[in-house]
Amino acid sequence: MRTDEVVTAPSEPAGGEHDAEPARIDYASVFPTGVRAMIGLQRAVETSGLEPLLLELVKMRASQINGCAYCLDMHSKDARALGESEQRLHLLAAWREAPCYDTRERAALAWCEDLTLIAQHGTPDADYEKLEQAFLPAEIVALTLAIVAINGWNRLAISMRVPVGPYVSPHRSTASASAAGEQISPPNTHQKELNDAHSTT
C-alpha cells in the first residue's frame, strides 16, 4: 500500500459502490496440486456425516470473523439453497444471544470461533466439554478439519482477491436462479475448483 493511499482515502463512486480490486493470482491454475489437496480435505469433511447446514453456518461464521466477502457470498447462497432461513443467517454474528440455534450448532459455532481466533484465547476446556456432549469423537475431528479448511480458503480468497459476486450455488436449480434474476454462466477453471472445494453435497 502506498503512503498516499493511507493519508487520502479514495472518493466513493456514485451510488456508494466501490470498484472491485483486481484479482492477484488464479491460484487453482498456477498451483493445482495444492488446491486439489485442499479439495480433498473438504470432500473428506463433506462425507463425514456432519449436517450440511451446520457446516454452512460454521463456514459463514469463520468467514465473518476473517472478513472474507467471497466466502460469505458463497456460503450464504449455499445455505439459502439448502433451506436455511434468512433470520438465522442474519443473526449468525450474534448467535450467542439468539435462541434459534440448537445445542449442537452452538457448540460448533463456539468451537469455530475458538479455532479461528486461537491466538487470542486458545481452546477453552468449557467449550470443548460442550463439544463432547454434542458430537462423537469422529465428528469433533471432522468439524475441526472443516474449520481448518474454511480458514485456509478465507486466507486464499482474501490474499488473492478472488472476485466477489458471480458464484451460483450448485444446490440451486437453474430455473430457481433465473427466477431470482441471477446470471447463470459456465464457471471458469478457477471458479469450478472453488465450487468443488466449498460446496457441501
C-beta of residue 105 within 8 angstroms of C-beta of residue 51: no
Global pTM reads 0.77
Percentage, residues of the chain above pLDDT 70: 75
For the structural domain made of 32-170+191-198, what CATH number should be given?
1.20.1290.10
Give me the mean pLDDT over the 187-197 stretch. 44
What is residue 166's predicted lDDT score, i.e. its pLDDT? 85
Q: Where are the alpha helices (DSSP H) in the chain?
A: 3-7, 27-30, 32-46, 52-66, 69-81, 86-91, 103-116, 118-121, 125-134, 137-159, 174-179, 189-198
The pLDDT tens digits of the residues spanning 69-115 come to 999 999 999 999 999 999 999 999 999 999 999 999 999 999 999 99
